[in-house]
Amino acid sequence: MVRVPNPLQALLLTIGRLLVRLGLISEDRVRQTVDLAWPRILTGIARMSKNAADVAMVGVALGPAAIAGVGFAGPYWGVAFSIGGGLAAGTIALVSQRFGAERIEQAGQAIRSSAVLVVAITLPLAAAFWTVPTALISLLTDDPQAIEYGATYLHLVGPGVPFAALNLIGSRALIGVDDAWTPMVLRGTGAVVNVGLNAVLIFGLGLGVVGAALGTVLSNVFVTVGIAIGLANGRLPGVGAFPITVSPTGRYVHRETIRDVVEIGTPVVGRNSVWMVARFPALAFVGMFGSTVVAAYIITRRIWGLMNTPGWGFGLAASSLVGQELGRGEEETAAAFGREITIFSVATYMAAAGIVVAFAPQIVGLFVGGSGDLSIPIAVGMVYASALAIIPQGVAGATAGALDATGDTRWPFYSRALGMFGVSIPLIYLGGTTSLGIVGIYLSFFGETLVPALVNYHRFASGKWKAISRGYRPERPE
């Protein structure tokens, strides 16, 4: 029976085959990349749509002040993803290399050690969000209504922080053993559950930002429980068999494994935290333009998140495929995968940006309650600028994913820090304090992507990661 590609697969295969005709990528690598990338991209679309729905629903129900409040809480909630996603880079590097070297039992140890590590780190953060949310939101704004909305949201999402981080560990581990389908089903379903809960809690029960926060926490618990049951049993009812079974009674605190996860993952936590930390001054400086521009900026960032979903797929496909080739000792093949996935990624980002440019006014209109809202024209202009600026992210994300697989994770961290704090944030500040005005915000999007694209590509092209990766590879069985 011939399996018919879904629309996203078909679009990616069409882009890939066009690149094959141009001689830029091999047909075999198109298929391998698409098989791993499309489920992750679809998961990203679902989850970013969920994040956008949070903002859109509270915006329609409560107005721009609620959008700003949820937006100010966003950087704190993002801590879970900075930590979880960063440590998960260590997880996928170890798991994919052990999978390529046929050392499955060592892959299970990497998953358990990553899980206990991420819980130990995120529990104190959850406690802080629960106990002092008003003080945290007040660091970003002095608008009393925005503080009230933001503190309420942050207080209630606090307990969900460890679950969100664990979701990332589990999903990256599965991708490392060539299974992007299962994480897509579980996390995509979680996003759908989140949107459904939001609709009921925000509109049906009139809970506003309380409903948005509860929906977020409950959906993350749902996904975490599903991944845990599936990994422990080797299958999950309604989802099917998992490619790996991890004994829940095995050893968790394994010093060597934890050390490797920390060594590989810490620079990625730093890289992820750059954007999380940068959001604090970014929002504070955008606040100089007034609440209408703040709402427009937050709307644009949610749309940016949707445009950036190809990076979810191509970055992780690069991590998995490059890591597996390194596990087999095939360094040149690993390099070819990294180069060709980067080309594929850029082409896909161009397609995503084109779609958003074509429908920018209609997309922005989904976030507000009426056509008379003053944030609409401001947000549309920001969306046009961000759509052009997102294209270099195709280079930055794919090469960062390839470097993650090798253990050479420091340079992507440096590049993101330089782009955000050396270029992007200063441009927003100049926009708020000089005649540059809102153009400073437009240019800040380009600073965020161009610098990492140039630095990451140069680092990968240098080939220095080959020697670094040898320090993390397992011995192949005889």
pLDDT of res. 350 = 95
Contacts of 362 (CB under 8 A, 6+ apart): none
Band of residue 129 on the pLDDT scale cut at 50, 70, 90: very high
Band of residue 85 on the pLDDT scale cut at 50, 70, 90: confident
Query: CA nearest 169: which of 236, 239, 95, 243?
Result: 95
Look at residue 159 and tell me if it is in a domain.
Answer: yes
Look at residue 474 and tell me if it is in a domain.
Answer: no
Q: Which of 151-155, 320-324, 361-365, 370-374 is most confident?
A: 151-155
CA distance 147 to 153: 10
Percentage of the chain lying above the pLDDT 90 cut:
27
Residue 1 has pLDDT above 50, yes or no: no
pLDDT of res. 435 = 92
At 369-381, the pLDDT tens digits run 554 466 678 889 9
Look at residue 477 and tell me if it is in a domain.
Answer: no
CA distance 296 to 367: 10
CA distance 380 to 386: 10
Q: Which of 5-14, 120-129, 184-193, 426-435 is most confident?
A: 426-435
Question: What is the arithmetic mean of pLDDT over 132-156?
Answer: 87
pLDDT of res. 450 = 95
Question: What is the arithmetic mean of pLDDT over 327-355?
Answer: 91
pLDDT of res. 447 = 93
Q: Which uninterrupted H or E stretch holds 236?
A: strand 235-236
Distance spanning both ends of the chain, measured CA to CA: 38
Dihedral sign, CA of 34, 40, 46, 48?
negative
pLDDT of res. 369 = 55
Look at residue 184 and tell me if it is in a domain.
Answer: yes
Task: List the alpha helices (DSSP H) in 308-392.
Answer: 309-327, 331-358, 360-365, 375-389
pLDDT of res. 478 = 47
Look at residue 475 and tell me if it is in a domain.
Answer: no
Look at residue 172 and tell me if it is in a domain.
Answer: yes
Q: Calculate Rg over the CA atoms of the chain.
A: 21
Residue 36 has pLDDT above 90, yes or no: no
Look at residue 325 and tell me if it is in a domain.
Answer: yes
Look at residue 450 and tell me if it is in a domain.
Answer: yes
Number of domains the chain is built from: 1
Question: What is the arithmetic mean of pLDDT over 259-263?
Answer: 81
3-class state of residue 237 by DSSP: coil
Burial classification of residue 2, based on how many CB atoms lie within 10 Å of its CB (0-12 exposed, 13-18 middle, 19 or more buried)? exposed
CA distance 169 to 164: 9
The mean predicted confidence, pLDDT, of the chain is 84
Domain hosting 296: range is: 7-469
Band of residue 20 on the pLDDT scale cut at 50, 70, 90: very high
pLDDT of res. 19 = 95
Q: Which of 102-106, 168-172, 429-433 is most confident?
A: 429-433
Question: What is the arithmetic mean of pLDDT over 217-227?
Answer: 89
At 417-467, the pLDDT tens digits run 899 999 999 999 999 899 999 999 999 999 999 999 999 999 999 988 888
* Overall pTM surpassing 0.95 (yes/no): no
At 223-249, the pLDDT tens digits run 899 988 888 888 888 777 787 777 788
pLDDT of res. 254 = 78
Residue 252 has pLDDT above 60, yes or no: yes
